[in-house]
Amino acid sequence: MKVQNLHSAARAGRWLRTTLELQDPQNARLLPMEGLRGVAVTLVFLQHYTMQSQLIGLSPGPAAAVAAAFATYGNLGVELFFVLSGYLIYGALVRRPLSFTKFMARRLQRLYPAFLVVFAVMLAVTILVPVPGKIPPGHWQAAAYLAANLAFLPGLIPMVRIVDVAWSLSYEMFFYLVTAGVVIGARLSGVAPGRRIAGLSVLAAAFIVVSYADIPNFPVRMMPFFAGMLLAEGVGGWVPPWAGWAAPLVAFVAAVTGAFPGPTGELVHTVAFFALCAVCFRDAGRVSLCMKWSPLRWLGNMSYSYYLTHGLIVRVAMLALAPVLPSGMPDRLFWAFMPVLYVATLFLSLALFAAVEKPLSLQPAPKIRRIAPV
C-alpha cells in the first residue's frame, strides 16, 4: 500500500511539473520573473483573506495587526504585476517590429479564455443571488452593462464589476492599446534606446506630477508600468543586490504605518518594485535565488488563473464561517485557516489553468533571449 501511495505521489508530481513548467527551466526564460508572479498573487490572496477576516471580526491582537497590515499592502501585489507587464509588453514591442492587429489578437487570446469562464460563473452567481443595483433592470441597460464588463471597462471607468478583480485587467488592456499604438505607430523599435529612455523618463515624470493634481478617477496605480518599461530599456543595472529585498521591506513598513499616503505611497512602491525586479531580472543576489524556487515559479505560471479565482473561494469560505462565529474569528483560527484556505484556492486555480488557460492562451514557449540586461 505504501509503495502504491509513493507511485501515486510520483505520478502527481510528474503531472504538476509537466503542467506548470511552461518550458525547460534551463532555457533562456527569465525564471525569477515567474517567482515574482507567485509573490504577487500571494500578496493579493493575503489582502483578500485579511479583509474578509476583518469583516467577520478579529479581536485586538497579533491577528488583527497582521490583517490591518496586509489588507492594505496585499493589494499592492497588483502593482508588481504591472511592473512585469510593462517590462514584457513594452520590451516585446521595441525589440522588433510587430503588427498592431496581431499583437492585440495575441493579447486578447491571452486574457479572454480563462476570464470568460470566471465571468460566466460570477454572472450565474449574480443572477442566482441577486445583488441590488448590480445589474440594471432594463434589457438594453443590462446588455450594455454586461458588454462593458466583457470589454474590461470597469476599473478605468467607475462602475460595478461582475468579476471583482477585473479592474486591473482594465488597466492592462488600456496599457496594451496605448503602448502598442504609440510604439508601433511611431516605429519606436527603430529609435535609439537613449532617445526612448529620455522620452519614457519625461512621460513618467509628467504622470507623477499629474498624479498629485487630485483629478477624479485618475489612474494613479498605472505608475508601475513606467518602471517596467524603463527596466525593459536596460535601466536598473546600478541597483545593488541588497536593494532587491531592502527597498520592498522599507516600502512595506511605509505602507503599514501609513507614512506615505496617496500618490507618494504609489511612487514609493513603484520604486521598491523597480529595485526588486531590477535585481531579479539580472539574476543577482539571494532574493533572485528565492524567486527561482520551483513551487513559487509554478504558482507564478498559473498566476492569472489564480488571480481570477481565488477571491471567490475566499469569500465563499468566509461566508460559510460567519454564521458559526457569532463572536468573530479567534486568533488561532485566523492563523490555522490561512494555509488551509490558501491550499484550497490552489486547486480551483490549477483546474482552470490546466483545462482552459494553458491549452487556449499559452502557446508553446520557444527559446527566447532576455529583453535587455539590467
Q: What is the pLDDT of residues 270-295, one digit of tens each?
A: 999 999 999 999 998 899 999 999 99
| Range with lowest mean pLDDT among 1-15, 94-108, 216-230, 298-312 | 1-15
What is the percent of the chain where pLDDT is above 90?
Answer: 70
pLDDT of residue 371: 46
In a domain? residue 119? yes
The residues that bridge with 329 in the sheet, in sequence order, are: 58
pLDDT of residue 6: 57
For range 250-257, the mean pLDDT:
92
pLDDT classification of 5: cutoffs 50, 70, 90: low
In a domain? residue 117? yes
Is the pLDDT confidence value at 25 over 60?
Answer: no
pLDDT classification of 367: cutoffs 50, 70, 90: very low
For range 68-82, the mean pLDDT:
91
For range 313-335, the mean pLDDT:
90
Q: How many domains does the chain have?
A: 1
pLDDT of residue 369: 45
In a domain? residue 25? no
pLDDT of residue 327: 83
In a domain? residue 165? yes
pLDDT classification of 97: cutoffs 50, 70, 90: confident
In a domain? residue 135? yes
Find the domain containing 143 and state its range: 44-361
Is the pLDDT confidence value at 310 over 50?
Answer: yes
For range 213-233, the mean pLDDT:
95
Is the pLDDT confidence value at 372 over 80?
Answer: no
In a domain? residue 148? yes
Is the pLDDT confidence value at 173 over 60?
Answer: yes
pLDDT of residue 373: 42
In a domain? residue 10? no
pTM beyond 0.95: the answer is no
| 350 three-class SS | helix
pLDDT classification of 130: cutoffs 50, 70, 90: confident
pLDDT of residue 79: 96
Higher pLDDT, 190 or 368: 190
Is the pLDDT confidence value at 366 over 60?
Answer: no
pLDDT of residue 137: 85
In a domain? residue 22? no
pLDDT of residue 365: 43
Is the pLDDT confidence value at 24 over 90?
Answer: no
Is the pLDDT confidence value at 12 over 90?
Answer: no
pLDDT of residue 374: 41
pLDDT of residue 23: 64
